[in-house]
Amino acid sequence: MKKLSIAILLLSQLLSGVHAQDIALNEEQIHKLGIVTASLPVQTDGEISGMPAQVVIPGDQLYTISTPLAAMVEQTLVGVGDSVKKGQVLARLQSPAFIEAQRSLLQAHMQFQLTAENFIRDQELWKDGIIAESRLRSTRSQRNEAKALLTERRQSLKLFGMTNKEIEQLLSGNELSSQLAITSPINGVILEKSASSGQRLDAATPLYKVARLSPLGLEIQVPLSSSENIKVGAAITVPAYSASGKVTAIGRSLSGGSQTILVRALIHRGTDGLRPGQFVEASITTAGNSMKQWNIPNSALARLGEQAVLFVRTPTGFRIAKISVKLEGAQRSLINGDFKGDEMIAVQGISTLKSSAMSLSGVQ
């Protein structure tokens, strides 16, 4: 019945002499064929919308925490998803190598004290003319070398996680400990946990990944033709999550067959609803006029051969409007087309109109 209705419609068009690119339908026929129309979506001047983007963590906000020495995991105190504060202990390790590092510091400290005392003594002797200046210079050199070694040992222990206060306590009390505390370098959230209690680890083995999740980054794939009017500092929004920020960088090379340019942005507002790795759609404010671009639902798209078209409502039926698809998303697509902006387009029942259009144009 549906094919018969279409054939009757085509015959009536030929008899009435309608334009070859028009499909003549009255209101009753449109209703019976299940064709639904909607206003052409308003396209804000100077905005490109519907851009596919991925939420990422800015590089300077992501930290990988590793074991500084070969050790055994004694205790893990936090897990994935936990919020942590800067300096908070995340895990405790047992490491014989840590004892050796502390012993080396104590040896360097005692050596420095000895050379410092020798230098003070020789300085007094030199002033009294008892020793030659060459011996004073040698003693000074020994003191300076011992001081450099002590500084090196202190810095090593700080890299292993000891604080200045703990180092001073070690130097004053000479109490060695095999327990190594792993702390968070920032206020953030634990994203990954790679070790568990009882596990033996080599030096530089990752334990945790911790990140600060505000602001978040966006990596947006923008078609080359749409990237010309995008500038660093342009406003960007993620409408579905009421998030917003600014463009921070625009790539210079194209990404393979998709012929898109990577645009990076920072999202400062509305980050609570976003998750790293999430795919979203973003809108970017442009410096030029984007009124020839429209963001339409995919249900309105049809293709006659390789040509993409929309069906625009006219007083006598529908007009076939050729368009260029700039970017096709999961639900909506960005197109170029010659529209005034007040048109009504078909968004349902497209298959019926497409069949008529193919018959009119001779496309198989």
Cα of 160 vs its chain's centroid, Å: 30
What residue ranges in 227-306 does DSSP mark as E strands? 235-238, 243-254, 260-269, 279-285, 293-297, 302-304
Asked whether the beta carbons of 56 and 143 are under 8 A apart, the reply is: no
Q: Do 136 and 233 reside in the same domain of the chain?
A: no
Domain boundary, last residue among 285, 311, 334: 285
**For position 136, which CATH number holds?**
2.40.50.100
Handedness of CA 130, 136, 138, 139 (dihedral sign): positive
Distant-in-sequence contacts of 270-275, Cβ < 8 A, 24+ apart: 270/238, 270/241, 270/242, 270/243, 270/244, 271/213, 271/214, 271/215, 271/216, 271/243, 273/241, 273/242, 273/243, 274/55, 274/216, 274/238, 274/241, 274/243, 275/55
Q: Note the pTM of the prediction, 2 decimals.
A: 0.65
Same domain, 250 and 301: no
How many domains are contained in the chain?
Answer: 3
Residues 74 and 138 in one domain: yes
Among 211, 242, 260, the domain boundary falls at 211
Name the phi and psi angles at 152, rounded to 5: -60, -45
| 6 vs 286, residue with greater confidence | 286
Structure confidence by residue, pLDDT tens digits, 229-260: 788 999 999 999 999 999 999 998 887 677 78
Please report which confidence band the pLDDT of residue 11 belongs to, taking 50, 70 and 90 as the band edges: very low
Among residues 163, 184, 211, the one where a domain terminates is: 211
How many whole angstroms separate alpha carbon 22 and alpha carbon 316? 8
pLDDT tens-digit map of 250-307: 998 887 677 789 999 999 999 999 999 999 999 898 765 545 678 888 899 999 888 9
Question: Is there a single domain that holds both residue 204 and residue 333?
Answer: no
Residue 246's domain is classified under what CATH number? 2.40.30.170
Least confident of 114-123, 221-230, 238-247: 221-230
Residues 231 and 198 in one domain: no
358: its two tokens: 């193919």
One domain for residues 206 and 153: yes
CATH number, position 25: 2.40.420.20
Q: Are 227 and 277 in a shared domain?
A: yes
Range of the domain at 229: 50-57+213-285
- 185 and 80, same structural domain? yes
